[in-house]
Every structure is written in C-alpha cells, then in structure tokens.
Structure 1
Amino acid sequence: MMLVALLLGIGCPSPAAGVKASSRSAVEAAQLPTRWYFAEGTTREGFFEYLSLQNPGTEAAEVHITYMTNDGPIGPFVHVVPPVSRGTVFVNGFLDPGLDVSAAVESDKGLVAERPIYFVYKGEWEGGHVTKGVNEPSKTWYFAEGTTRPGFEEWLCVQNPLDVAQEVTVGFYTPEVVETKSYQVAARHRFTLDINREVAELWPEAPHQDVSLKVEAGQGIIAERPMYFDYKGSWQGGHIVMGETAPGKEWYLAEGYCEWNFETWLCFLNPNLEDAHITVDYRRGDGAALPPQGFRVTGYSRFTLYVNDAVGKGEFSFHITSDREIVVERPMYFNYRYSWAGGHDNTAVSRAAPEWYLAEGSTRRGIETYLCVLNPLDVEQRVIVEYLMEQGGYMEVEFTVPPRSRYTRNVNADLGDGHDVSFRLKALKVADPVEPGEIVVERPMYFLYGGTIPGGHVTSGYPLYGDGL
C-alpha cells in the first residue's frame, strides 16, 4: 500500500509572532539512520498507536513498515514522507484490532522515528507513553526501573526481527537477590512477558518487589518495558522505556521537576559483582549550585532515590557518575496543572551532543509540549531550535543556556495552537560562535488526548555527535 505521510496541515493556524522562517537550507539527512525498531505496540481495545516520522532531508523518504505479531510478520506497508517535513502514521488504521505488534521501520533516506501510544489500560488507567526507536538489535538490554508493588503492572516486550528463533534469558535484580529464567522467541515474532506473574513465581512469599532487568539473547533482539500504574491510589497512567544496551560510568538527564504535584525518582541498576559508589550532581534552572549527593549501591542489586527529599522544589537536570558501570532511569509521577494526572519515565543518556533530533511534538488543543535542555559545560551555550512543521519547512528560535544549568522552552508559546511538529536542536558555544557545543535534550509532553485521556510522556532526542559516533 502506498500512502503519502499524514501531515494534517490543512487549516492549521500560523505560528506565533516572533518565530521566523529558517534562512538555512534543509538539513542533510545522510548522517541519520535508515532503520528503526520498536518492540512494543498494540491495537487492543482502548489503545491508540502512532508512528511519528521526521524527514529533515531535501528528498522524499520512502518508508517501509513491517509489523511483527505473536503469529508472525504483517506487511510491509509503504509510506512516503515528503522532504523537510513531519509525518504521522496511525497504526490502528492499518492493522486489525486486538493485535500486539512490534515494528521495523526501513527508509531509503535518513530519518528519525518515535512511537507514541495513548490508552485506557484494562478499561481503567488512562494515559500515554512514547519512545524513540533503536537502530539495530542488541544481544543485551538493561532496565533499571521496574516494580510489582500493588498498583503497578509491569511487562517486558521482546521483538525478534531475525529469521531464526532465539532463546532469551531474563535476569531479575531485586535489592537483595538475582534470579534468571529463559524463554523462546520465534523468528520475526513479538513476545510479551508478564513481569508481575514471573516475580510471583520466583518469590511466592514476596511477590511485591522492586526489580531491575537484564535481558540477553544469542543473536540480537529489541526490548522495551511498559508499566501501568495507579500511583499511590491517586494518579493513574503508564510509562515505557527502551532498554539500554550497555551500562556506563557517566549519565545525563535533562528533565526533572519536584513539587507537591510532581514526584521524581532515580532508579539505579548495578549489574556488577562489586559495589558501585555513585555521585548525583543536580543542575538547577537558575544555575544555583546544589551539593552533590553520594551513595553506594551493592553489587548485583537495584537502588531507588526519591529526588524530592534530596533537592526540594524546582526544576532540575542530573549529571550522574559512578566508579562502576551502572544503568539509570528517572520515573516521574504527576498531576499536571492539577488536572492531567499520569507519569513518564526515561533512561539516562551517556553523552552530551552538539545536535539532537526529536520526531514527535504537538501543540494541538489539549497537548502542551516542552523542550528541556541541559548545558553540562562550564561555558554559556547558544541553542538553535528548528521546528519542522507538518506542512513542511522549518521555523526557528534560539536562546542561550548558562553554564552548568537547565533551560525549559514552551513550544506552544512559540508556535501557537494546532501544529504537529518535529525538532532539531543545535548547540554552539557563545564565546566562539562556530565551535559546536554539547547539550542534553528531552521533550516532555502533557495532554488530554481526544479530550478524554489525561497523561504525559517524555523521551530523549536522537543525538548526532561531532566525532561521527
């Protein structure tokens, strides 16, 4: 099936005053990936799945999407994303209802892909979650967060995109002990694991555990971990992350907010035999210094830090270092504007970068989008944001971020109502305007989807590094 990307640009209002048309040429997309994978996805009742496709290049991108179900692959479906534009695919519109699906996205031009899902989970818990895809399978995946406490339901989604069946081994890391189990995943299939059930079978006398995961396969898979919750009996929703493929000694997170209606956590997985000594540096929006926080996480264990108790109220970013290789996530739970309750989660990133891309974004009615930017350097940086519009073309804004601080940009205020948008952010050092800078970027969004489903979701951008990595 051939489909021109659903740009939904007809009748959209003009962007807000002060946002100028970009004078630069369209972005060369040769450095961007041509393949993206997503392990999770569903067309079950109450779930609404999308793929957001960002084509910043000067040529149209022909995109082939294959969906992998519990019974095998469906497709490919062919879509065309015009140059310098953002496209949207409503997955439910192409597949039968009631399917659990992974996706493989292949393009003849470089692009960026994300997958937002909005839901009413089991007819009760409303919300949404999002993640960017990954570009290749991995033999190992790590997840720092996870819990089977009352009010939480955790799942592991595994995509096997290869033409051979694979044995998948899952390590369950609690604060005290590690257990492993193995499962078979057929070739070009999707597999789903109920973590609550697995934990109850492993520890029948203690089924309510905080648990991190290590997922291994012989030839390479993709793994995501969705969670759905009734947080403290008040805030319902769900969040998701793509796993990390390797632990590291240094991690960054651009977003973090502490208030009575926002609760922020840090989750740490230490997959090593030895203890890990960890330091968390907090970067405030006003640049004010906060004392670093140090602690120890024992080997082969999971540890959780409640950030609200550590820093009080305000906006924060995080720089995390460790003497051992670890994995870090940051779940947040909230009642946004005291109206839209939910939660979102993100894995930390291991490096700052001079350039970031984000495929999803919207200022439609009932959606509020932000950009969170961390400047980890000791020098002021200038950040140029190019909004890639659904009708094609860029709009541009810029701002400066002081040294070692966090900055928040309200996208709705820049663009006005009614737009679907993707993003490119580029950092330059103020002292030398031609020297690339280094920043970290996340994009939280809060919403009342369809006028009925409240929540929020977040993801990091896709980085392009100056060293070509």
Structure 2
Amino acid sequence: MRRKHAISFVLVVGLVAGLALFSVHATRRPDSVSSATVPAPAISGINPPSGPVGSPVTLTGTNFNETQATNTVTFNGKAATSYTTWAPTQVICAVPSGATSGPVLVHAAGGDSNAVDFTVTVPPEPPPEPTSEPTPTWYLAEGTTDWGFQTRISIQNPNEEPVIARVTYMTGDGPVGRPDITLPPLSQTTLFPADDLGARDFSTRVTCLEGETIAVDRTMTWTGGGASSPESHSSVGVTSPDDTWYLAEGSSDWGFECWLLVQNPNGSEAHLTLTYMIEGAGPATFDKVVPPNSRATFNMAQDIGEADASIRVVSDVPVIPERAMYRNNRREGHDSIGTTTPATDYYLAEGTTDWGFTTYVLVQNPDSEPAEVTVTYMTADFGPQPQPPVTMPANSRMTINVNNVLPGHDLSTQVHGSRPIIAERAMYWDNGTGEACHDSVGMPSPHTTFYLPDGQTSDGWETWTLVQNPNTVSVAIDLYYLPENGGASLTLSDTLQPNSRKSYSMAEKLPVGRASVMVTSRTAGRKIMCERAMYSNSRGSGTDTIGGFAD
C-alpha cells in the first residue's frame, strides 16, 4: 500500500566564496487516521412494555439511523425480523418468534443502545367464533356523498374464514348495486360509496352471502360553513327493519337542525306515523310516506317548530330510521340509530363530565302511563352513584345535564324505569375550534361479545373502546383489534371491577393504522356493555356508537 508522508523543508541560503550554499532538513510525520465518531443509539421509551409474539412494539429515542439496512432490534437476544417503521427517532417492529422476557436493544452503526425491559406475554385465546343467531344483513338509513359530505362504510368479519359481502345502495331513484366484496378472516374492510355513486343521498344494505355474522357501521365527515375544523358522526347499522322504532334524542331548538332519515327496503310504499314526544308539551303526530326501495328525509322543525322531543316511528311495513342533528352552521353534528325495544333498564357505556366534556342523558317514556325513573352513574373511583327517582309523564321526554349532578368524572350510566323506557346520551366539547359533539342510543341489555367495525389511529385519529361492567362481581375481558384487510389480530386482556367502566386506546396496541374492535367477556355468565369513540383534528371532530353483539 502506498503511504503518504508529510515533508518539511528548511532552506538556509548564504554565499561562500561566491557560491550559493543551502541545506535541506526533511521531517517525516508519522502515519495518522482521522474519522468522525458515530453516536450510539439511545432508547427513551417502549410502548407497550409487554405483549405476545407477533404484536407491534414502538421504540422511541435517538440515533437509530435513517433506514434499517443492517441495523436490528433484539428482544433478550432474539432479533426482530418484521419492521414497519425505521427512522432516526422511532422504530416499530413485531416481537419475534422465540423471544423471551428481558432487555430490548437497538443495534445500529454507532453501537448498541441502552437496554429497556420488555415482558413477553402469553396471547389471549383466539377471538371466539360467533355462536348466537348469525347477523348476516345490516341496514344503514343515513348516508350521503352530496352537500359537502364524505361517507365511509366499515365492514367487520369476525369469522376465521373469508366471506363475501353484497352491498346495495337505496337512492331516490331506486336501488344501485356494486361488485361483491371478499372480506378476509378476522378483518376490517373499508368502502367509500362515492366511488360507486358520485354525489348522492342514499341508504345502504350489506349482506353476507354465506349467512355468517358480520358487523357494519358508517362514518360521515364534513366541514361546516366558516368552520376551522371538520366534524364527523358515526352509527352502527341495524340487523333488520321493523314497524315500530324509538329515538330518545331530538331537538329543533337551541339552533339545532334535526333530520329523521327513514329507509324503506320494501317493494311497496311505507306509510308512517311520526309521534314527537315534546318535552314539557306532550305528543304531536304526523303522517309521512316513503317510496319503495328508497330513503326519505323529514325535518323536525317543519312539523313542530322549535322544540326538544323524542320520536316514535310506526310504519305499515318494516323500515329503518336514523336521526341526525346539526348546529352552528353545521360546525357540529351527531347521529344515531333508534331502538325497537323499550325496556326497564338501559345502559350507556360512554360518558364523562371531565376533560372539558358536557354530557346529557335523554330519557323517553313512550308508555301510556307515568314511569318512575332512577339513574345510576358507574364511576371508576367512587363506584355506583344512584340518583333520586324522578317521575316522567306518559309519552314524554326528559333531559339530564350530568355535569350538574356528577362533575369531573368518567362514567357509564344505567337508567331504570318502573315502566319500559329508552335512554340515549349526547356529549359536547370545544377544543378551541368550535363546539363539537357525538351521540349514541343505549342498549336494553348487556351482551357477551361486541363488534365495533370502524377504528383508526392514522391520519390524526384516536380510537377509544369504552367497556362497562354492570355486574356486582369483577369481569375478565379480552379485546381484539382486527386489522384492515386482515392479518394477525392484536390483543389485550384485562379485568373490570364491579359496577365500573374502563377506556382502552387503540394506539397502545396499534400506533398507526385501521382496525375493527371486538370485545368479549371471559367470565362465565357475566355480560358487558361496549361503545367506541373516535376523535380527529386534535378533537375538533368526534364520533361515538354502540356495536353489533353476540351471546
């Protein structure tokens, strides 16, 4: 190898007897090598700190390098082989097969990082196959890709085999089909009706051709005139039409628009009787008609003016209604299905009077006799908080501002009536971009397993699953995230204390992506309640809904 040397010269010049004299002194510099030091990687956080083989783990820190290349992450010495993100400050990888509990390290160009502890857990049992009567068909009364709205439909396949879904849109011009969709096992599939319909108002029917259980919900997003943030609302569908429906919430007062959307999936006209149970004023009745295989929209204000009212829909053929409400030039809005089942108990899993939220519980008494109503709030810190009973007149509606009763708490609600009633809950908040809201009808009974089709942690979305334990004993649950387009389910297990509720963030298991949610009770004979809340635009937008269920 050729070696380079540095040589210095000293030149001495003089004259001796007319001759020029000079001398050269050469100095040889020793070999030297200069290189920049690459800093070692450093881990500052690991999320989650435990999980089963195959589950995603997010490492945050510094000096991880721009790309993975030959860099690795090891779990107690076992190298990860599946990476979804490798960036200088974040790595997302899957717990490798054969990993055991112990230190996790990042090995990069600068050397080895500090170690952080990780516990490899035994995964919960696989998601249970639906065992009760299948629910292969779902109806969504609301839906539009016109008027500035975007609509997406989420379809959940909780089965271990692929199934085929057939989608039919019911428009003002009649039914419109599209190609059938294959749903992978244990998956979420997302459908955008604008791709099929363009700009249109519509209702939707989704059917599993194999007759197996699926679950379907719909999310709509828009931006009101002059609003600084988009808003959204969401609702699960219903599994069958019926001739009588109840919707506890409804208002054309306080600046609200209130719209009743009615889907008629029959080949003949539907003749409706709408009864508005007006708070403080009694019932008012109106007749309506919906053409065959179509959907119709009715404006509450055109019938009763400015008022708060619950709604009863009675039809001569089975139909499906939903109710949508908007306020502040459509800066905010919420939507919910109704129920066919008045009951002496109703459960609402979501609710908070903390974190800047205001929560209202709406109660409808559709009976011809007065009902004594008792509301019990279930909190994580104080347990059940029953309230004094209130007597509701026949055919009436009651509004409860929960913040005036139990401020500063996360809570679930149980509403008990001496006669069958219906309960719904609406929540309002303002993140600084204008007031936003969401709403959901309750359920008349808890169930063993819940299916919540939508769910997302990408593009600025948060997803929370709210689980209520209405039992007097602790209940063990398993929660599963079923990824978009299928793949390995992400799971967690937990225990809920008696008469309490807990919230679970999807981001703790799926930092970025989309997935459906399934929650099941593992305690024999003990059932639960579930809802899903989603927020986007730094909580400038939010949705909430109940889900499908099985026992």
Would the TM-score normalized by the shorter structure come out above 0.5? yes
CA distance in 2, matches of 1:331, 1:19: 40
Match of 1:348 in 2: 442
What do residues 83-111 of structure 1 show as CA deviations (whole Å, max 9, x unaligned)? 121110011111121x1100011112321
* Superposed CA offset, 1:364-412 (max 9, x none): 1311111111111111111111111124221110111111111111221
1:298 CA drift (Å) = 0.8
Partner SS, residue 216 of structure 1? strand
**Is 1:369–1:444's contact at 8 Å kept on the other side of the alignment?**
yes
Residue 363 (structure 1) shift: 0.7
Offset, 1:26: 5.7
1:118 is aligned to 221
Q: Measure the CA separation in 1 of the matches of 2:467 and 2:379.
A: 11
Q: Who is 2:129 aligned against? A: 28
Matches within 5 A, 1:7-26: 14=93, 22=123, 24-25=125-126
Per-residue deviation at 1:20? 6.8
Distance change (3 Å), C-alpha of 1:287 and 1:385: farther
Partners of 1:301 and 1:280 in 2: CA distance: 17
Distance 1:289 1:139 in 2: 36
Corresponding residue SS for 1:293? coil
SS in 1 for 2:339: coil
Match of 1:254 in 2: 349
Aligned-pair CA distance for 1:134: 0.7
**Amino acid across the alignment from 2:184:** P
Does structure 2 conserve the Cα–Cα contact (< 8 Å) formed by 1:27 and 1:58? Answer: no
The change in CA–CA distance for 1:277 and 1:42 in structure 2 (over 3 A counts) is: same
Alpha carbons 1:121, 1:228 under 8 Å: kept: no
Q: Which residue, out of 325, 329, 333, partners 2:428?
A: 333
Residue 362 of structure 1 pairs with residue 456 of structure 2: yes
1:48-447 to 2 correspondences below 5 Å: 48-97=150-199, 99-108=200-209, 109-121=212-224, 124=227, 126-175=230-279, 176-199=281-304, 207-230=305-328, 236-259=331-354, 261-336=356-431, 341-390=435-484, 391-416=486-511, 418-429=512-523, 435-447=524-536
Residue in structure 2 matched with residue 203 of structure 1 by the alignment? none
More deviation, 285-294/241-250: 285-294
Residues 225-259 of structure 1 deviation map (CA, whole Å, 9 limit, x = unaligned): 011113xx9x9311101011121111111111003
RMSD: 2.3
Deviation at 1:421, TM superposition (A): 0.8
Larger mean CA deviation between 74-83 and 271-280 belongs to 74-83
Amino acid at match of 1:377: N
Distance apart, 1:120 and its partner CA: 2.1
**Shift in CA distance, 15/170, structure 1 to aligned 2, threshold 3 Å:** farther
Contact 1:287/1:405, CA 8 A, preserved across alignment: no
C-alpha separation between the residues in 1 aligned to 2:383 and 2:433?
30
Structure 1 runs (4+) deviating above 6 angstroms are 15-21
Distance change (3 Å), C-alpha of 1:357 and 1:50: same
Q: Which has the larger radius of gyration?
A: 2
Q: 2:541 aligns with which of 455, 464, 467?
A: 455
- Give the whole-Å Cα distance in 2 for the aligned partners of 1:197 and 1:115: 27
Offset at residue 355 of structure 1 (A): 1.3
Letter in 1 for 2:385: L
Deviation at 1:424, TM superposition (A): 1.3
C-alpha separation between the residues in 2 aligned to 1:19 and 1:146?
49
Q: What residue identity is the alignment partner of 1:456?
A: G
SS across alignment from 2:367: coil
Q: Distance in 2 between matches of 1:101 and 1:319?
A: 34
- TM-score, length basis structure 2: 0.75
Give the Å deviation of 1:297: 1.0
Q: Deviations over 1:259-288 (max 9, x none)?
A: 372100011111122111000011002243
Q: Confirm or deny: 8 A CA contact 1:15 1:415 kept in the other structure.
A: no
TM-score computed with the length of structure 1 as normaliser? 0.87
Corresponding residue for residue 202 of structure 1:
none
Distance in 1 (CA, whole Å) between partners of 2:94 and 2:217 is 24
> What is the Cα deviation at residue 294 of structure 1?
1.7
Tell me the distance in 2 between the aligned counterparts of 1:318 and 1:360.
23
Q: Contact between 2:124 and 2:478, CA under 8 Å: does it hold in 1?
A: no
Q: State the secondary structure of the residue aligned to 1:221.
A: strand
Cα 1:373–1:165 shift into 2, 3 Å: same
Structure 2 unmatched ranges of 5 or more: 1-82, 86-91, 96-117
Corresponding residue number in structure 1 for 2:76:
none
> Could you tell me whether the CA contact under 8 Å between 1:287 and 1:402 is conserved in 2?
no
Deviations 1:138-188 (A, max 9, x none): 101111111111421110001000111111111111021211111111110
Percent of residue pairs identical: 30
SS in 1 for 2:335: strand
- CA contact 2:169–2:175 (8 Å) conserved in 1: yes
Paired letter, 1:263: T
Q: CA deviation at 1:11?
A: 6.2
Is contact 1:102-1:159 (8 Å) kept? yes
Q: Could you say if the C-alpha distance between residues 58 and 156 of structure 1 is closer, same or farther in structure 2, counting changes exceeding 3 Å?
A: same
Contact 1:127 1:342 in 2 (8 A): yes
1:40 corresponding residue in structure 2:
142
The AA in structure 2 aligned to 1:114 is D
What secondary structure is seen at the aligned counterpart in 2 of 1:330? Answer: strand
Residue 66 of structure 1: CA displacement? 0.6
Matches of 1:307 and 1:350 in 2, distance apart? Answer: 20
- Which has the higher relative contact order, 1 or 2, with Cα contacts under 8 A spaced 6 or more apart? 1
Decide whether the 8 Å contact of 1:19 with 1:397 is kept in 2: no
Distance 1:177 1:26, change over 3 A: closer
Alpha carbons 2:127, 2:480 under 8 Å: kept: no
Q: Could you say if the C-alpha distance between residues 374 and 15 of structure 1 is closer, same or farther in structure 2, counting changes exceeding 3 Å?
A: farther
How many pairs were matched up? Answer: 435
Preserved CA contact (<8 Å) 1:46 1:123 = no
Q: Relative to 1, partners in 2 of residues 1:123 and 1:138: Cα closer, same or farther, differing over 3 Å?
A: farther
CA contact (8 A) 2:490 2:509 kept: no
Closer/same/farther in 2, CA of residues 71 and 11 from structure 1, 3 Å limit: farther
